[in-house]
């Protein structure tokens, strides 16, 4: 199915979102990739006749830590499965007084402070540099905002997500620093996920669910997993409802992404064809086949 054809929505469920309701024709399938194993099997299903593919980011039962997730395998597996746009759902800490636990926010920018993860599909033997100036797809974001409005969810339109390595939460000095940098929310998983989605020419947008005030707020306890899970449990249904509402909206689209997500590799490759490593080029079949097969 071409990018300009009917969309196939991929959903990456974060903490607390290990399945989706309201789906029919459900089938969990193993998808192998040249980058290793994805976090779990992928759930292929239909939502009111539209194809969707769901992947729990940490695996069912949450066996995987943020640093242990194979982000490349996850994005490759979604691309290989025909996905054209990815909706991520993530638990985040709030770095702003006016973003209390329970609030939803559509991320539009990132600061990537992760350091112990594979961040690119490309490298020696096939070098590519894509733009991530605008890492979130504007069209997908607008559809998510509309879906939120239709579902009665108050979702803040735009904010900067600080991606930290973890797994420990931040020190107080770090939390204050990220606030001083103008960041709005903090999490451990959206990077390099968003960068890899861009390399794979997939539209990407992330719905952040605020679960806590991290550790900077003088009147709130410092974040704990217990608190996160409590807030998650009361909001996961809302997140699932939002995802369900966005799928039919996306079905109406009839063109490839105007922002260029689906053509991100058009001018990104710099390694001369005779200098390319055939092994790496082979691994890039799903991610970059569109431009490498030329």
Ligand X SMILES: CSC[C@H]1O[C@H](OP(=O)(O)O)[C@H](O)[C@@H]1O
Ligand Y SMILES: Nc1ncnc2[nH]cnc12
Cβ atoms of residues 42 and 27 within 8 Å: no
Nearer of residues 92 and 280 to ligand X, judged by Cβ:
92
Give dist(CA 136, CA 92) in Å, integer: 17
75: nearest Cα among 207, 197, 206? 197
Cβ atoms of residues 276 and 126 within 8 Å: yes
Closest distance of CB 195 from ligand Y, Å: 18
217 marked among binding-site residues: no
Among 51, 159, 187, 241, binds ligand X (CB under 6 A): 187
Tokens of 277: 């490593």
Touching ligand Y, residues 88-107 (CB under 6 A): 91-93
189 near ligand X, judged by CB under 6 A? yes
Q: How long a stretch of residues is the chain? A: 294
**Residues in contact with 256: Cβ distance below 8 Å, sequence separation at least 6, in sequence order:** 3, 4, 262, 263
105 near ligand X, judged by CB under 6 A? no
Among 163, 186, 200, 203, binds ligand Y (CB under 6 A): 186
19 marked among binding-site residues: no
Number of residues forming the site for ligand X (CB under 6 A): 12
- Give how far the C-alpha of residue 287 lies from the chain's centroid of Cα atoms, to the nearest Å: 16
Query: Is 19 one of the catalytic residues?
Result: no
Closest distance of CB 257 from ligand Y, Å: 28
- Give how far the C-alpha of residue 196 lies from the chain's centroid of Cα atoms, to the nearest Å: 9
**Residue 52 pairs with which residues in a beta bridge?**
9, 45
188 marked among binding-site residues: yes
Task: Identify the active-site residue in 214, 221, 254, 274.
Answer: 214
Closest distance of CB 127 from ligand Y, Å: 32
How would DSSP label each residue in 34-87?
A: TTB--SS-EEEEEETTEEEEEEETT-TT----GGG--HHHHHHHHHHTT--EEE
Nearer of residues 211 and 235 to ligand Y, judged by Cβ:
211
Bond preceding residue 192 cis, omega within 30 of 0 = yes
Among 7, 38, 51, 66, binds ligand X (CB under 6 A): 66
Site string for ligand X, 216-235 (x = CB under 6 A): ---------x--x-------
Residue of minimal Cβ distance to ligand X: 14
Query: Is 212 one of the catalytic residues?
Result: yes
Q: What would the 3-class secondary structure string for 143-155 be?
A: HHHHHHHHCCCCE
Closest distance of CB 2 from ligand Y, Å: 36
Active site residues: 212, 214
Binding site for ligand X (CB under 6 A): 14-15, 57-58, 66, 90-91, 187-189, 225, 228
- Which residues are annotated as part of the binding site for phosphate? 15, 57-58, 90-91, 189
């Amino acid at each position: 199915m071409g990018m300009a054809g009917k969309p196939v929505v991929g959903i990456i469920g974060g903490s607390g979102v290990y399945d989706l309701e309201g789906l029919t024709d459900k089938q969990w399938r193993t998808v192998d990739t040249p980058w290793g194993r994805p976090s779990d099997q992928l759930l292929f299903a239909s939502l009111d006749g539209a194809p969707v593919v769901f992947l729990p980011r940490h695996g069912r039962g949450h066996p995987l830590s943020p640093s242990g997730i194979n982000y490349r395998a996850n994005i490759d597996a979604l691309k290989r499965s025909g996905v054209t746009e990815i909706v991520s759902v993530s638990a985040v800490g709030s770095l702003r007084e006016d973003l209390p636990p329970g609030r939803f926010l559509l991320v539009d920018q990132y600061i990537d402070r992760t350091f112990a993860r594979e961040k690119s599909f490309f490298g020696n033997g096939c070098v590519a540099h894509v733009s991530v100036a605008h890492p979130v797809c504007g069209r997908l974001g607008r559809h998510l905002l509309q879906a939120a409005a239709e579902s009665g969810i108050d979702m803040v339109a735009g904010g900067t997500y600080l991606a930290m390595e973890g797994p420990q939460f931040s020190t107080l000095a770090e939390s204050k620093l990220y606030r001083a940098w103008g960041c709005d929310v903090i999490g451990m998983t959206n990077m390099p996920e968003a960068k890899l989605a861009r390399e794979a020419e997939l539209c990407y947008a992330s719905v952040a669910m605020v679960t806590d005030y991290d550790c900077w707020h003088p009147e709130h306890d410092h974040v704990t997993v217990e608190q996160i899970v409590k807030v998650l449990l009361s909001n996961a249904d809302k997140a699932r409802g939002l995802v369900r509402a966005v799928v039919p909206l996306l079905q109406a689209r009839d063109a490839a992404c105007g922002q260029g997500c689906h053509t991100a590799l058009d001018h990104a490759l710099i390694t001369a064809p005779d200098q390319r490593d055939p092994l790496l080029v082979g691994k890039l079949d799903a991610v970059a086949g569109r431009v490498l097969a030329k």
